[in-house]
Amino acid sequence: MATAHHRAGRLREAEGIYRQILAAQPNHAEAMHHLGLIAHAAGASDAAVGLVGRSIELAPGAGYFYRNFGEVLRGAGQHEKALEAYRNSIQLTGEDGSVRQGMGRCLEEMDRIEQAIGEYKRAIELRPELAMAHFNLGVAVEKLGRFRESLGHFEKAIALRPDYSLARMARATGLLRLGEFAEGLREYEARWGLEWMKDRRPVAGKAVWDGAELGGKTILVRGEQGMGDVIHAARYLKLVAERGGRVIAEVHGPLVRLMQRVEGVNGVVAIGQELPEFDVQAAMMSLQGILGMSMETIEGEVPYVAVDQPAREEGKLRVGLCWSGSTNPLARHRAVPGEMMRKLGDVSGIEFWSLQKERARELPMAMIDPMGEVKDFADTTHVIAKLDLVISVDTAVAHLAGAMGKKTWVLLPSVADWRWFVDREDSPWYPTTRVYRQKARGEWRAVIERVAADLAKESYGQSDSGR
């Protein structure tokens, strides 16, 4: 009964029965094992490791226990132990494509990319029909900058599973990164099949805008992804208004006051608040496709966020720094270590300002820190307006500074978000932005050295001009 509930996804019912079994038979290995898998699915990593580990002590010969233990340990961040568990599974039950794939995921999370690629290839040899292995292989080679090759692996995964939304999204962003907008934007709509997008799917019962003239209709444009995505896509709202629409933007709370300053916007509502009446709808990140934009017709006019520019007095060059963005572990490769940013402090003639808000902020050097008074992105614009230059990693601050037309230097990992394309030092979205990209994966030192050298030139030019 418990197994039937578990397979059907009725985890609460399954958990209750597993616990009844364990109350009667405390050393029932299978019930304990599957209770641990439910804990793993719920994100209770410590409990999962304890239960599954104990089940193996009770039944050390059950090979599939080790396979699952590898997954549980990987989810808990215990990668070396996870690899050992996967190897034990192979030793007990023989080669298994899903186990090799698990080992690949583990190695990839340890940033041992080449080894991960080897495991994914072995998984595909064992189980060519394993769509997830093809997808993961694509992700791994993409991390090494092998973009065309990655598209081929994503396409194999999609051929095996046409409804594989994650693979289709990876292919979409891969195409967009290479500037292939027409197909990339069409495929980008596959994101609605992702589980984490379900709460932002189009409102049921309301038409989705197809780009036709609106004739005075009210259109709800919904920010469905991150705050940086909203700031980036906000450039298109004036074009929606030009199609005759009364534009209502639904965005994250910290963006509400900012969006009120964007051309073409008639009203703003925060995500989670009751929606006003509207006739049609569109997602922010679908606007470019709906409007038929291409690499040649990117809307790159700035500023498109209205901000009063204060009069600037003479003095040191004012430079704002943002070295880390989201706290999501998946975004860690975009952050520059504080000790690395500290090297910029060696450049003379600079007054550094912190633009760091979201994380626990340990300032890497002496700097002005106005962010304690900043409540939202509208407040952030007032800080940025006082600066001569913004230096930021790929986060909402970089998009905001670019949208304001502020001189901005963006620090990028070797493989960055698709909007920064490949091997470009400029941005067609933000004409006042310069890109500094890692030459090798994870290597920030050379990036910071280039930035410091250019910053010294900026500082010298500032003092030489005697502003």
Residues 6+ apart with CB under 8 A from 57: none
412: left (phi over 0), alpha (psi -120 to 50) or beta: beta
Pairing of strands 350-354, 317-322: parallel
Note the CATH number of domain 2-191: 1.25.40.10
**pTM score, two decimals?**
0.91
Percent of the chain with pLDDT over 70: 96
Distance (Å, rounded) from C-alpha 219 to C-alpha 6? 43
Residue 334: per-residue pLDDT? 85
- Name the H helices within 77-164: 79-93, 97-109, 113-126, 131-143, 147-160
Higher pLDDT, 428 or 464: 428
Assess whether pLDDT exceeds 60 at residue 465.
Answer: no
Class of domain 203-290: alpha beta
Q: Tell me, yes or no, if the two domains 2-191 and 203-290 fold the same way.
A: no
Percent of the chain with pLDDT over 90: 88
- pLDDT (tens digit, 9 = 90+) per residue, 67-78? 999 999 999 999
Strands (E), 252-304: 265-270, 280-283
Q: What is the mean pLDDT of residues 258-281?
A: 96
SS3 sequence of 387-444: CCEEEEECCHHHHHHHHCCCCEEEEECCCCCHHHCCCCCECCCCCCEEEEECCCCCCC
Residue 466: per-residue pLDDT? 41
Closest of 168, 202, 179 to residue 288, by C-alpha? 179
Q: Are 66 and 88 in contact (CB under 8 A)?
A: yes
Residue 380: per-residue pLDDT? 96
Per DSSP, what are the bridge partners of residue 378? none
CA distances, 260 to each of 100, 254, 256, 266, 387 (Å) = 51, 12, 7, 8, 22
User: Which 3 state secondary structure label does DSSP give 98?
Assistant: helix
Task: Determine the topology of domain 317-465 in CATH.
Answer: Rossmann fold (3.40.50)
Residues 6+ apart with CB under 8 A from 345: 352, 364, 365, 366
Closest of 263, 94, 139, 142 to residue 131, by C-alpha? 139
- pLDDT (tens digit, 9 = 90+) per residue, 206-242? 999 999 999 999 999 999 999 999 999 999 999 999 9
Q: How far apart are the first and last CA of the chain?
A: 79
- Name the H helices within 306-365: 338-341
Radius of gyration of the chain (CA): 25
- pLDDT (tens digit, 9 = 90+) per residue, 336-394? 988 899 999 999 999 999 999 865 457 888 899 999 899 999 999 999 999 999 999 99
Domain coordinates of the chain in residue numbers?
2-191, 203-290, 317-465
- pLDDT (tens digit, 9 = 90+) per residue, 381-423? 999 999 999 999 999 999 999 999 999 999 999 999 999 999 9
Amino acid identity for residue 412 in this structure: L
Per DSSP, what are the bridge partners of residue 437? 412
- Name the H helices within 189-335: 227-233, 237-242, 256-259, 287-290
> Percent helix, strand and coil across the chain, each rounded to 5?
55, 10, 35
Least confident piece of the model among 15-29, 36-50, 296-310, 441-455: 296-310
Least confident piece of the model among 237-246, 282-291, 308-317: 308-317
What is the average pLDDT score of the chain?
93
Eight-state DSSP code of residue 205: T
Residue 385: per-residue pLDDT? 96
Distance (Å, rounded) from C-alpha 90 to C-alpha 88? 5
Higher pLDDT, 300 or 37: 37
- Cis bond leading into 303, ω under 30°? yes
Q: Are 373 and 393 in contact (CB under 8 A)?
A: no
